[in-house]
A and B are shown apart, each in its own frame.
Chain A
Amino acid sequence: MKINFLHLIRIVRHGWKNIWLHRLRSLLTVLGIVFGVASVIAMLAIGEGASFEARKMIESLGSNNIIIRSVKLPADAKTQQASLLGVYGLTDRDMRKLETIPSVVRIIPAWEMEEDVWYYGKNISARVIGTLPEYQHALNLSIKTGRFFDYTDIQKSLPVAIIGSTVRTSLFPAEDPIGKSIKIRSSYFTIIGIAGEKVFAGASESFVAEDMNIAVYVPISTTKDFFGEYEVKRTTGGIRSWERNWVQYHRFVVQVSDTDKILATASLVSDILSQTHKKQDYQIIVPLELLRQAERTKRIFNIVLGSIAAISLIVGGIGIMNIMLAIVTERTKEIGIRRAVGARKRDIINQFLTESVILSASGGFIGIMLGILIPKAVTKFAGMMTIITPWSILLSFSISVAVGIGFGLYPARKAAELDPIQALRYE
Chain B
Amino acid sequence: MQQNDSIITFDNVTKVYHLGGIDIPVLRGISCEIKKGEHVAIMGPSGSGKTTMLNIIGCLDRVTSGRYLFEGKDISSFDDDALSEVRQKKIGFIFQSYNLIPQLTVLENIEMPLFYQHLDERKTREKAMELAKMVGLGDRIKHKPSELSGGQQQRVAIARALMNNPLLILADEPTGNLDSVSGREIMKLLCELNEKGTTLIVVTHDAGVAKYARRIIRMLDGKIVDEN
A residues touching B (Cβ–Cβ < 8 Å)?
3-4, 6-7, 10, 17-18, 21, 333-334, 336-347, 420-421, 424
Chain B residues within 8 Å of A18, by CB: 103
Given contacts A3-B118, A7-B118, 15 further A-B contacts (CB under 8 A): A6-B121, A10-B115, A334-B101, A337-B99, A339-B60, A339-B87, A340-B93, A341-B88, A341-B112, A342-B85, A342-B164, A343-B116, A344-B85, A344-B116, A421-B55
Instruction: Please tell me if B183 contacts chain A, counting CB pairs below 8 Å.
Output: no
With A6-B121, A342-B89, A342-B116 known as contacts, the answer to whether A337 contacts B84 (CB < 8 A) is no
Give CA–CA (A424, B88) in the complex, Å.
16
Q: Which 6 A-B pairs rank lowest in CB-CB distance, beginning with the nearest?
A: A342-B88, A341-B113, A344-B84, A342-B87, A7-B118, A340-B93
- Indicate which residue in B81, B88, B99, B163 contacts A333 across the interface (CB closer than 8 Å): B99
For B163, the closest partner residue in chain A by CB is A341
Chain A residues within 8 Å of B84, by CB: 339, 342-345
Chain A residues within 8 Å of B93, by CB: 340-341
Chain B residues within 8 Å of A340, by CB: 58, 60, 87, 93, 99
Instruction: Please tell me if B223 contacts chain A, counting CB pairs below 8 Å.
Output: no
Instruction: Please tell me if B95 contacts chain A, counting CB pairs below 8 Å.
Output: yes
Give CA–CA (A198, B113) in the complex, Å.
67
Instruction: Please tell me if B80 contacts chain A, counting CB pairs below 8 Å.
Output: yes
Chain B residues within 8 Å of A347, by CB: 116
Cβ B80 vs Cβ A341 within 8 A: no
B residues touching A (Cβ–Cβ < 8 Å)?
55, 58, 60-61, 80-81, 84-85, 87-89, 91, 93, 95, 99-101, 103, 112-113, 115-118, 121, 160, 163-164
Cβ A424 vs Cβ B118 within 8 A: no
With A333-B99, A341-B160, A342-B87 known as contacts, the answer to whether A421 contacts B60 (CB < 8 A) is yes
Give CA–CA (A337, B103) in the complex, Å.
13
Cβ A21 vs Cβ B103 within 8 A: yes
Give CA–CA (A17, B95) in the complex, Å.
26
Q: How distant is B119 from chain A, measured CB to nearest CB, in Å? A: 8
Give CA–CA (A277, B84) in the complex, Å.
90
With A10-B115, A333-B99 known as contacts, the answer to whether A345 contacts B60 (CB < 8 A) is no
With A10-B121, A333-B99, A424-B99 known as contacts, the answer to whether A342 contacts B80 (CB < 8 A) is no
Chain A residues within 8 Å of B87, by CB: 339-342
For A10, A340, A420, which residue has the most chain B Cβ atoms within 10 angstroms? A340
Q: How distant is A300 from chain B, measured CB to nearest CB, in Å? A: 48
Give CA–CA (A333, B101) in the complex, Å.
8
Q: List 30 A-B contacts (CB under 8 A).
A: A4-B118, A7-B118, A10-B121, A21-B103, A333-B99, A337-B100, A337-B101, A337-B112, A338-B116, A339-B84, A340-B60, A340-B87, A340-B93, A340-B99, A341-B87, A341-B88, A341-B112, A341-B113, A341-B160, A341-B164, A342-B87, A342-B113, A343-B88, A344-B80, A344-B85, A345-B84, A421-B60, A424-B60, A424-B95, A424-B99
